[in-house]
Amino acid sequence: MSEGIRVAVSTVIFSLRSRPDAPDALMLPLVRRTRGPFLNHWAVPGGWLREDEGLDDAAARTLDETTGLSASYLEQLYAFGEVDRSPTRVVSIAYWALLRQDLVDAQLSTRPAPENVAWFDVDDLPTLAFDHDRIIAYALWRLRNKVAYSRIAAGLLPDEFTLSELREVYEAVLGRRLDPSNFRRLIEGSEALVPTESFRTGKHRPARLFRYNAEVALAETGPPT
């Protein structure tokens, strides 16, 4: 029987940080543990699954509890359930999520992150509690894979954005430069974006703004639905 087994949900939350004089960096929020095993270590946000909520709901709830926001993309990652991954028996259902950069920035400027929450660059993480390093590594691997063959990346950007901005997201996620012209064709051919009539005016030639096409977003990964 499984009476002594508890179910937790953890969510690896990705967003972008603007850096002066450097390309945007992929970052994620961690929570400093205030109790129990691994006291004061950093951990992936999460919590116990409640009896009256589904797994997806629990992921969305804990995401909201740590960031005050709801995700533009949320997907189950993996169930971690080795016997020794925690001193007590815990099965953790891991999720990963994308938060829009503008919403995170807005949230942080009005209401700064709680004392025990901090954002870290994915390339510069602290020592983590439990097996959370594995969870993050896997989430990062899935994100990079998914970016390569779907149009997920727009989940990190505001409603409207230029192709350059989107390309920079891809570059931040994948960790390498992409050819602007080929990137344009790739995206335009995919029908994941719809062009608007607005332009972003800045230092140089104005760039057309695009909008994410919600229709296409769904049918990308197959079941479960």
Partner DNA sequence: CCAAAAGTGTTGCACCTACACCCATGT
Partner DNA sequence: ACATGGGTGTAGGTGCAACACTTTTGG
Position 35, amino acid: R
Nearer to a copy of itself (CB atom), residue 49 or residue 60: 49
Is 187:179 a contact under the CB 8 Å cutoff? no
Is 220:202 a contact under the CB 8 Å cutoff? no
One of 23, 36, 37, 54 touching a copy of itself (CB under 8 A): 54
218 binds a copy of itself (CB under 8 A): no
CB of 106 to a copy of itself, least distance (A): 32
Name the one range near DNA by CB under 7 A: 12-20, 43-51, 206-214, 217-225: 206-214
Nearer to a copy of itself (CB atom), residue 112 or residue 224: 224
One of 36, 37, 81, 180 touching a copy of itself (CB under 8 A): 81
The one-character DSSP state at 155 is G
One of 70, 76, 150, 164 touching DNA (CB under 7 A): 164
Is 24:146 a contact under the CB 8 Å cutoff? no
173 binds DNA (CB under 7 A): no
CB of 202 to DNA, least distance (A): 7
Query: How many residues interact with a copy of itself (rule CB under 8 A)?
Result: 34
CB of 90 to a copy of itself, least distance (A): 9
Name the one range near a copy of itself by CB under 8 A: 10-18, 77-85, 116-124, 177-185: 77-85
202 binds DNA (CB under 7 A): yes
Q: Residue numbers of the site for DNA (CB under 7 A)? A: 162-164, 179-182, 184-186, 189, 199, 201-208
Q: Residue numbers of the site for a copy of itself (CB under 8 A)? A: 1-8, 48-55, 76, 78-83, 89, 91, 93, 134, 137-138, 141, 145, 222-224
